[in-house]
Amino acid sequence: MITRRPRRNRQSEVIRNMVEETTLGLNDFIFPLFIIEGQNKKIEISSMPGINRFSIDTLLEEVNSCVELGVKAFAPFASIPEQLKDKTGSESMNPDGLFPRAIREIKRNFPDVVLMTDVALDPYSSDGHDGIVENGEILNDETLEVLGKMALVQAQAGADIVGPSDMMDGRVAHIRKVLDTAGYHKVGIMSYTAKYASSFYGPFRDALDSAPKKGDKKTYQMNFANSREALIEAELDTQEGADFLMVKPALAYLDIIKLLRDNSNLPIAAYNISGEYAMVKAAAQNGWIDGEKAMVEVLTSIKRAGADVILTYFAKEYAQYIRR
Ligand SMILES: NCc1[nH]cc(CCC(=O)O)c1CC(=O)O
Ligand SMILES: [Mg+2]
């Protein structure tokens, strides 16, 4: 005789919903946005179907349509023309550069949205690396100087949260000190705490033309074979004053999300990155999977693993989906 029958709680939609353990909401999402120079531009990224690069004017329309759908937090990224890139990423410290201009315009038009801005050299670096390169080496402490100035320019432009994605050691403490010294103690830090050297970043690097010109990122991004090392990074970022800890990528790293969730009381964010988005889109376009159902499953799995915040290219599409 079978007395325990778990299927009882699956027998109708109402019961299934009643016992559902994980619920996604639009408050969970941060939607990445790509910005380019120019006017009236909206150019689709071929490796990220449905995701575009916007000039500032069309970007404001995009933000508006997201806000109307209920998506209110954004992670903007700027595509910097090649001729403005140099060894130290100096364009990242230009208060009149494309990125700070875009931040100011978004905040002027939509003061209530939250902007989480990316702090790293790669979109501005002629080497395509997240730090300053000298004789093939990525310099840590010299890079911190640039990161601090970049974060300050972003805070001055109106960033609510700065997101160091570079994986240099000590950058959270350094950025915190620079921001506090300048009076920006209210600007938060979402640290890319456990950021792995992943092959899933490809489409993002297409979007910004930011791929490394030489070598890979393995001397600063983490080895995907490691999980205990993520706890070391989490401990340091917490001591240094991070307000959020992020795991990136998300899907091949659900165990890392869970690990940080179980070992920290800070909010945990996860970045469902470009290649993870592209995989779902490509399979859906081929008719191999149901893209919409896969989207919901992927996002739910990241939340179930313990993420409080999900950075995802699906944010707007998910909002459109639940509206229907
Ligand atoms: N440091 C920049 C940065 N910030 C976010 C991403 C990737 C995001 C994505 O793939 O969606 C990257 C690329 C990288 O580290 O090479
Ligand atoms: Mg670190």
Domain boundaries, the chain: 25-323
Confidence at residue 48, expressed as pLDDT on a 0 to 100 scale? 97
Q: Please state the ipTM of this predicted complex.
A: 0.95
Q: Which amino acid is at 126?
A: S
Burial zone of 136 (CB within 10 Å; 0-12 exposed, 13-18 middle, 19+ buried): exposed
What's the CA-to-centroid distance between 149 and ligand 1, angstroms?
20
Check 72, 85, 195, 303 and give the catalytic one.
195
- Position 166 scores a pLDDT of 97
Q: Residue 172: what residue type?
A: V
CATH architecture, domain 25-323 = Alpha-Beta Barrel (3.20)
Cβ neighbours of 114 (radius 10 Å): 15
Centroid of ligand 1 to alpha carbon of 30 (angstroms) = 15
Percent of the chain with pLDDT over 90: 98
Rounded to 10 degrees, the C-alpha dihedral 38/43/48/49 comes to 150
Confidence of residue 225 (pLDDT cuts 50, 70, 90): very high
> What global pTM score does this model have?
0.97
> Which residue, by CA, sits nearest to atom 13 of ligand 1?
201
Question: Over the stretch 102-150, which tens digit does the pLDDT of each residue have?
Answer: 999 999 999 999 999 999 999 999 999 999 999 999 999 999 999 999 9
Q: Which of 122, 162, 279 to mutate to test the pocket of ligand 1 (most atoms within 8 A of CB)?
A: 122
CB 136 within 8 A of CB 126: no
- Average pLDDT of the chain is 97
Could you tell me if the CB of 117 is within 6 A of ligand 1?
Answer: no
- Residue-level pLDDT at 319: 98
CB–CB of 126/210 below 8 Å? no
pLDDT on residue 190: 98
> Does 204 contact ligand 1 (Cβ within 6 A)?
yes
Q: Does the annotation mark 195 as catalytic?
A: yes
User: Which atom of ligand 1 is found nearest the CA of 123?
Assistant: 2
Q: Which ligand is nearest to the CA of 312?
A: 1
Ligand nearest to the Cα of 229, by number = 2
pLDDT band at 289 (very low <50, low <70, confident <90, very high): very high
248 in catalytic set: yes
Q: Tell me, what's the pLDDT at 95?
A: 98
The whole-number average pLDDT for the span 274-295 is 98
pLDDT tens sequence across 35-79: 999 999 999 999 999 999 999 999 999 999 999 999 999 999 999
Say if ligand 1 is within 6 A of residue 55 CB: no
Single-letter amino acid, residue 254: L
